[in-house]
């Protein structure tokens, strides 16, 4: 049987940890459960990671990178309003791809706030910073203040998180898909009131 590279094993353990955290919470995410989910033994997990904290740090980075990927993949060429809409839809679609990812994300942020204080905030800060950069690029030469960009990023994050909680609570994919349109319509209404140029 060919030997699996350590980098691949780490990736397997990260994916397994997401599933276990989603099912059992942080406290229930034992190394044994994670190893079993990854179809590996505990010794291999400890070979790849010095501690469960180290593994969780990589899972945390995986979650943060996933958000960055969604935001960075949203091309700003479509104008500010359409870019904001695409950002919101992209984050909701990422949540909808995997209930496990959504549950693990919420668990990890709560855990990071308890264990590391600012680390839980860092995921939001990084996502919001990247979002503001994309929105600034989309605004182009339009006179949009930094405060307005902050507000747009905040509204997108808040709407996406509300969607995530509803999706997790009810687990109804068809309903969640339909609700995405409602959430985007809420953003559209807010943007029309906040960002649309004033008329005489």
How many other C-beta atoms lie within 10 A of the C-beta of residue 160? 24
pLDDT of residue 60: 83
Give the class (CATH, top level) of 1-49.
Answer: mainly alpha
Please list the helix, strand and coil fractions of the chain in percent, rounded to the nearest 5, in that order. 80, 0, 20
**pLDDT of res. 200:** 33
For residue 4, the model assigns a pLDDT of: 73
Question: Environment class of residue 112 by beta-carbon count within 10 Å: exposed (0-12), middle (13-18) or buried (19+)?
Answer: buried
One of 2.160.20, 3.40.50, 1.10.357, 1.10.3470 is the CATH number of 52-194, namely 1.10.357
Q: What is the mean pLDDT of each run of 10 residues along the chain (200 residues)?
A: 75 94 92 94 92 88 84 74 92 93 87 72 78 85 83 93 93 94 95 64
Could you tell me the residue ranges of all domains in the chain?
1-49, 52-194
Q: How far apart are CA 122 and CA 109, in angstroms?
A: 9
> Cβ contacts of residue 191 below 8 Å, gap of 6+?
81, 84, 85, 152
Per the CB < 8 A criterion, the answer to whether 98 and 173 are in contact is no
């Amino acid at each position: 049987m060919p030997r699996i590279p350590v980098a691949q094993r780490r990736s397997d353990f990260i994916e397994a940890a997401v599933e276990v955290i989603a099912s059992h919470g942080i406290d229930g995410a034992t190394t044994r459960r994670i190893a079993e989910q990854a179809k590996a033994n505990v010794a291999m997990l400890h070979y790849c990671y010095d501690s469960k904290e180290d593994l969780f740090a990589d899972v945390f980075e995986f979650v943060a990178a996933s958000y960055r990927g969604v935001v960075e993949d949203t091309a700003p060429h479509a104008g500010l309003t359409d870019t904001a809409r695409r950002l919101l839809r992209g984050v909701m679609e990422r949540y909808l791809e995997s209930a496990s990812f959504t549950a693990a994300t919420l668990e990890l942020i709560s855990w990071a706030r308890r264990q590391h204080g600012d680390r839980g905030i860092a995921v939001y800060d990084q996502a919001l910073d990247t979002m503001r950069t994309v929105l600034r690029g989309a605004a182009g030469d339009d006179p949009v203040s930094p405060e307005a960009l902050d507000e747009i990023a905040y509204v997108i994050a808040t709407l996406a998180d509300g969607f995530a909680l509803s999706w997790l609570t009810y687990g109804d994919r068809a309903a969640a898909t339909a609700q995405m349109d409602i959430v985007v319509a809420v953003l559209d209404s807010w943007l029309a009131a906040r960002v649309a140029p004033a008329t005489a």
